Amino acid sequence: MIHSYEHKVQYYETDQMGIVHHSNYIRWFEEARINLMDQMGISYQKMEEMGIISPVLSVEADFLRMVRFGGNVLIRAIVTEYNSIKLAVSYQVIDKSTNMVHCKGVTRHCFLNEKGRPISLKKSYPRLHELFEQEYQKGKQLEEKKQESDNSKNHSEAES
Amino acid sequence: MIHSYEHKVQYYETDQMGIVHHSNYIRWFEEARINLMDQMGISYQKMEEMGIISPVLSVEADFLRMVRFGGNVLIRAIVTEYNSIKLAVSYQVIDKSTNMVHCKGVTRHCFLNEKGRPISLKKSYPRLHELFEQEYQKGKQLEEKKQESDNSKNHSEAES
Amino acid sequence: MIHSYEHKVQYYETDQMGIVHHSNYIRWFEEARINLMDQMGISYQKMEEMGIISPVLSVEADFLRMVRFGGNVLIRAIVTEYNSIKLAVSYQVIDKSTNMVHCKGVTRHCFLNEKGRPISLKKSYPRLHELFEQEYQKGKQLEEKKQESDNSKNHSEAES
Amino acid sequence: MIHSYEHKVQYYETDQMGIVHHSNYIRWFEEARINLMDQMGISYQKMEEMGIISPVLSVEADFLRMVRFGGNVLIRAIVTEYNSIKLAVSYQVIDKSTNMVHCKGVTRHCFLNEKGRPISLKKSYPRLHELFEQEYQKGKQLEEKKQESDNSKNHSEAES
């Protein structure tokens, strides 16, 4: 099961092109990432209270189709890289009514202590590490299943 | 002299009505307020470093004319109320090319210490108090001059 | 029944004071207003497609208590003024877990046609007018009930 | 000469981590890109009035160092790819006081007519094409000079 977060597209998110301004997708990624962590049982809020911050090191986004005011989007977030020091989360923004992918993206993160020094979750917070590791393994399985299903689809297409 | 802060209207500030989204004026008020404090010799940054925060208690804004992408606005900020515990700043958003007022507003503030308790600047930070008091007196003089000039204008209009 | 719209407080809505930046409440008012219209059976989107826009003429907000990341707020929106030419909507931002009011506000609007001229909904769009009028009457009844209940509460307090 | 656009870091751009929220860098890229076009003699506003829109196809950003409220950043924007159908602009966000690079990024764009169909500037707007082509050639020369200077620096370092 992929965690899927629903966002209602707001008027204030549009620009004069009549579509959602591209900077807002970056904010939706954050909404979905925080929701993913809630689902994993680690609220970002609690993580900050424990003295861990997880800044964004990089972001990439491909805007495939416009999104307009009045619709609802689902944002799917998957942990696609994790090694206790670095984390990558991948996103798909999907139109709820058509199921089409409108945007794909990825954000990369590290973990810092209160002094701003990088930490290894495995060493400093083994329980947190476990939860991220589990989520990462889930992500890998989903990816493998997807490729198998794509392969078998291509296979049957090749046969026909 | 009224402090006047220039802001270039950004594309991301527009909405699908083709005009600046009204929430952004509230942000421009903040830009102008922080600039006013810079001009007064109290940077908001330093005030926070001294352990004082000055949250917004209320905001009012009248949107008289639309503002569009591509233009420049001047935001005039004046201290219109101040008693060492509370502060009010009034704003005018003016189209730089036409000199017309597009928005009027006011924000009200108090001063809190690091524990979130209200403080009197006069008691706790007399030097800061002096600067706000000076700015407030300047605001009053400006207001009086403006009324005199309005009165004499009305007078001569009445005579003619 | 008051329409009540739920908003999850987002990380990107906070500022370095550690609380929600005040400009975002103005955006939440919009979210709740658009949701209110959805509940009334007039989507703002459809209204724009019909060639009607309804710009914000003014906004007022009182920030009574801070709102922090991680919580959920309910935004109650009520039509408190309406005369087919002008509209006022009043808001309360309520902490979902404590039921305490953190912010109160009001926005005022008119209705414009595609040429930007003010219109009377009663004349030009009688069906829309009816829906706003109904909502306005509902708002008045709620207000009266509230006052009665406040009065009887004060009464019994006075008696005791 | 690289076009360099100055932005004062605003309070409303911070988040509760005490730094500028990463989504705002994407907005700064836009500010710098629009300023670059102003410098080139093509205002984005005029381009839209001519019926051309230039949506963002993708964005990438690497956040190397935090940016804090109170500072000023310079955003350098260079046309790094251009073929009359597609455009890439690269950015560096530089701390004005230290000259250190805090963020690097790139946005990719196409050109659409009013019906949303991709157009070739060379065919449809040869004058616009020329301006983008010139800017692209300038960008290439800058890149070459930079590499020469880096090479000679490495060379002398190797010798010493």
Please check the confidence at residue A155 and state whether its pLDDT lies above 80. Answer: no
Say if residues B77 and B33 touch (Cβ distance below 8 Å): yes
Distance from C-alpha of B119 to C-alpha of B111, rounded to nearest angstrom? 6
Q: Give pLDDT, residue A153.
A: 67
Q: How many Cβ atoms from other residues are within 10 Å of residue D156's Cβ?
A: 9
Q: What is the pLDDT of residues B10-41, one digit of tens each?
A: 999 999 999 999 999 999 999 999 999 999 99
Q: What is the mean pLDDT of chain C?
A: 93
Chain CA centroid to CA C97, Å: 20
User: Contact at 8 Å (CB) between B85 and B77?
Assistant: no
Q: Look at residue A159 and tell me whether its pLDDT is greater than 80.
A: no
pLDDT of residue A160: 45
Question: Which pLDDT score, from 0 to 100, does residue B150 have?
Answer: 76
What gap in Å lies between CA A50 and CA A124, rounded to an integer?
11
Encode pLDDT of C76-109 as tens digits.
Answer: 999 999 999 999 999 999 999 999 999 999 999 9
| Mean pLDDT on B100-111 | 98
Question: By 3-state DSSP, what share of chain C in percent is helix, strand and coil, each rounded to 5?
Answer: 40, 30, 30
Report pLDDT for B127: 95
Buried-exposed string C72-110: b where 16+ CB fall within 10 A, e elsewhere:
ebbbbbbbbebebeebbbbbbbbbeeeeeebbbbbbbbe
What pLDDT does D160 receive? 46
C51: CB partners within 8 A, 6+ apart: C113, C114
Q: Please state the rounded mean pLDDT for residues A105-133.
A: 96
Smallest Cα distance from D106 to chain B, Å:
17
Q: C31, C5 in Cβ contact below 8 A? A: yes
DSSP assignment of A106-151 equals EEEEE-B-TTS-B--HHHH-HHHHHHHHHHHHHHHHHHHHHHHHHH
pLDDT tens-place string over residues A19-61: 999 999 999 999 999 999 999 999 999 999 999 999 999 999 9
Q: Tell me what pLDDT residue B144 has.
A: 86
Residue B81 predicted with pLDDT over 50: yes
Q: Which CATH code for domain B3-159?
A: 3.10.129.10
Per CB-CB distance under 8 Å, the chain C contacts of A29 are: none
Confidence (pLDDT) at C145? 85
Q: What pLDDT is recorded for position C160? A: 46
CB < 8 Å to C70, chain A: 43-45
Mean pLDDT of all residues in chain B?
93
Average pLDDT of the residues in C152-157: 63
Give the range among A138-142, B105-109, C46-50, D108-112 with minimum mean pLDDT.
Answer: A138-142
Q: Are the beta carbons of A121 and A109 closer than 8 angstroms?
A: no
Residues of chain D with pLDDT under 50: 159-160
Q: Domain segments of chain A: what residues?
A: 3-159
Asked whether the beta carbons of residue B22 and residue C56 sit closer than 8 angstroms, the reply is yes
Chain B nearest-CA distance from D159, in A, is 47
Q: Is the pLDDT of residue A154 over 90?
A: no
Task: Select the more confidently predicted residue: B133 or D145.
Answer: B133
Looking at every residue in chain A, the average pLDDT score rounds to: 93
- Which 3 state secondary structure label does DSSP give C118? strand
Q: What percent of chain A is predicted at pLDDT more than 90?
A: 84
Furthest CA-CA distance within chain C: 61
Q: What is the pLDDT of residue A126?
A: 97
Contacts of B16 in chain A (CB under 8 A): 11, 14-19, 69
Q: Can you give the pLDDT at residue A147?
A: 81
Q: D interface toward C at CB cutoff 8 Å?
A: 11-12, 14-19, 21, 23, 69
Distance from CA of B14 to the nearest CA of A (A): 5
Say what the pLDDT of residue D142 is: 85
Instruction: Report, as an integer, the average pLDDT of A70-91.
Output: 97
> Which residues of chain A have a Cβ shorter than 8 Å from any chain B Cβ?
11-12, 14-19, 21, 23, 69
Mean pLDDT of C124-153: 89
Residue B10: burial class (beta carbons within 10 Å; 0-12, 13-18, 19+): middle
**Facing residue for C31 by CB, picked from A10, A34, A45:** A10
Paired with D77 in beta bridges are: D91
Q: Provide the percentage of residues in chain B whose pLDDT is more than 70.
A: 94
Closest among C29, C33, C107 to C73, alpha carbons compared? C29
Contact D17 A53 (CB under 8 A): yes
CB-nearest to D55 from A17, A48, A61 is: A17
pLDDT of residue B158: 52
Give the confidence band of A144 by pLDDT, cuts at 50, 70, 90.
confident
Distance from CA of C13 to the nearest CA of A (A): 10
Q: What mean pLDDT is predicted for residues C114-135?
A: 96
Instruction: In whole angstroms, give the CA distance from residue C157 to residue C102.
Output: 26
Q: Give which of C11, C67, C109 to mutate to test A binding, by max A Cβ within 10 Å.
A: C11
